[in-house]
């Protein structure tokens, strides 16, 4: 979810669910330590609960970043050992670290020692030819010995050679059964499942076997599914009551604040493109925002005019039933004290 779940995206998603645990895009430790910390660590108070996702392989640097995250008020720090991109691989972090479980354990141990907030690890089933269940258990056992009690497992392995990041989200087969088995074999650990999950109904089925579910691209492709999370997964009697139009009207207050700070309109509108997914005028809405949002000097009038192109009518999703969506990636939803959905 690099370049996706930035603070503007999270501000919008928080309006759709009170309980979803939101994760930042992965931030490299060196970027925080030697770059613009406000840019990489900044978030709005309305985003809670929110977790910072880190990338790196140096225990000292990751511990320092975790401490900075806690100082900023993050609710969790997550170490990404699942990203297969070339940039990540060349930096010797992300999924390639599955080949170095002892180093991951050292990183986690250092992070845990530096903070009081939870530290979690996001991983894959394996990498390349190192993808047996036994090797996965060895990895989890080693990292758990380093103090990690919370694993988010993308139910695919990663091919570090020959597949793009996009292909790594689609080509390697899903093995949900291995994640279920991992939870059964490590009952004292928090095990969340991720990968190819397209609906809240599927989330409910996975929660019978795991402690939580992480979604990413499914939600980004149809954000409105988040409006059912609080009621369907957390049994909240008082859930989100927005219509899509009223949500946009409210989010425009946030947009206005950001514009006054010099943020370009396109940084907010790009996250709104799928809000009217499945509704009359959705294509026109997307086209107008895509064409006019990036223009120099674009302001609220662009969103106001785009709203004139949609016709919000009740859909199955609005009546309490979720539509099938598309894919999965890196947002989180908090399922009570023990269960968690992402």
Tell me the DSSP string of 198-258.
Answer: -SHHHHHHHTTTSSEEEESHHHHH-GGGGGGHHHHHH--SS-----HHHHHHHHHHHHHHH
* Sole residue written with tokens 């219509």: 243
Closest by CA to 72, choosing from 53, 33, 44, 30, is 44
Q: Which two tokens stand for residue 285?
A: 């809405």
What pLDDT was estimated at residue 235? 85
17 and 232 in contact (C-beta within 8 Å)? no
What pLDDT was estimated at residue 239? 63
* Sole residue written with tokens 């009690």: 149
Q: Which residues are catalytic, by number?
A: 83
What pLDDT was estimated at residue 330? 38
pLDDT in tens, the chain (342 residues): 777 899 999 999 999 999 999 999 999 999 999 999 999 999 999 999 999 999 999 999 999 999 999 999 999 999 999 877 655 555 556 788 999 999 999 999 999 999 999 999 999 999 988 899 999 999 999 999 999 999 999 999 988 887 777 787 777 899 999 999 999 999 999 999 999 999 999 999 999 999 999 999 999 999 999 999 999 998 887 766 789 999 999 999 999 999 999 999 999 999 999 999 999 999 999 999 999 999 999 999 999 999 999 986 544 444 333 322 222 233 454 433 334 445
DSSP one-letter code for 94: G
What pLDDT was estimated at residue 86? 57
What pLDDT was estimated at residue 51? 98
Exposed / middle / buried, residue 235 (Cβ in 10 Å: 0-12, 13-18, 19+):
exposed
218 and 325 in contact (C-beta within 8 Å)? yes
Length of the chain as a residue count: 342
Cα-Cα-Cα-Cα dihedral of 262, 265, 270, 271, to 10°?
A: 70
What pLDDT was estimated at residue 159? 86
């Amino acid at each position: 979810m690099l370049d996706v779940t930035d603070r503007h995206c999270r501000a919008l998603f928080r309006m759709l669910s009170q309980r979803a645990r939101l994760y930042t895009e992965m931030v490299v430790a060196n970027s925080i330590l030697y770059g613009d910390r406000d840019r990489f660590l900044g978030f709005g108070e309305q985003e809670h609960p929110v977790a910072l996702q880190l990338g790196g392989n140096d225990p000292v640097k990751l511990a320092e970043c975790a401490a900075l995250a806690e100082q900023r008020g993050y609710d969790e720090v997550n170490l990404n050992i699942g990203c297969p991109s070339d940039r990540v691989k060349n930096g010797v972090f992300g999924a390639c670290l599955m080949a170095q479980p002892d180093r991951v354990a050292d990183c986690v141990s250092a992070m845990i020692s530096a903070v009081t907030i939870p530290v979690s690890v996001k991983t894959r089933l394996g990498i390349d030819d190192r993808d047996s269940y036994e090797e996965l258990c060895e990895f989890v056992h080693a990292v758990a010995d380093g103090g990690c009690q919370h694993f988010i497992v993308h139910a695919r392995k990663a091919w570090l050679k020959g597949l793009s990041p996009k292909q790594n989200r689609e080509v390697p087969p899903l093995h949900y059964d291995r994640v279920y088995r991992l939870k059964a074999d490590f009952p004292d650990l928090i095990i969340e499942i991720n990968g190819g999950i397209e609906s809240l109904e599927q989330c409910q089925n996975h929660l019978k076997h795991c402690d939580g579910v992480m979604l990413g691209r499914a939600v980004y492709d149809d954000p409105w599914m988040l409006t059912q999370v609080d009621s369907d997964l957390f049994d909240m009697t008082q859930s989100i009551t927005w219509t899509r139009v009223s949500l946009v009207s409210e989010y425009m207050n946030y947009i206005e604040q950001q514009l006054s700070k010099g943020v370009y309109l396109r940084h907010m509108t790009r996250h709104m493109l799928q809000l009217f997914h499945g509704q009359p005028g959705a294509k026109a809405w997307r086209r107008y925002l895509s064409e006019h949002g990036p223009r120099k000097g674009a302001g609220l009038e662009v969103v106001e005019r785009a709203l004139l192109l949609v016709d919000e009518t009740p859909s199955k999703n609005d009546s309490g039933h979720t539509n099938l969506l598309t894919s999965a990636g890196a947002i989180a939803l908090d399922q009570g004290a023990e269960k968690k959905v992402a």
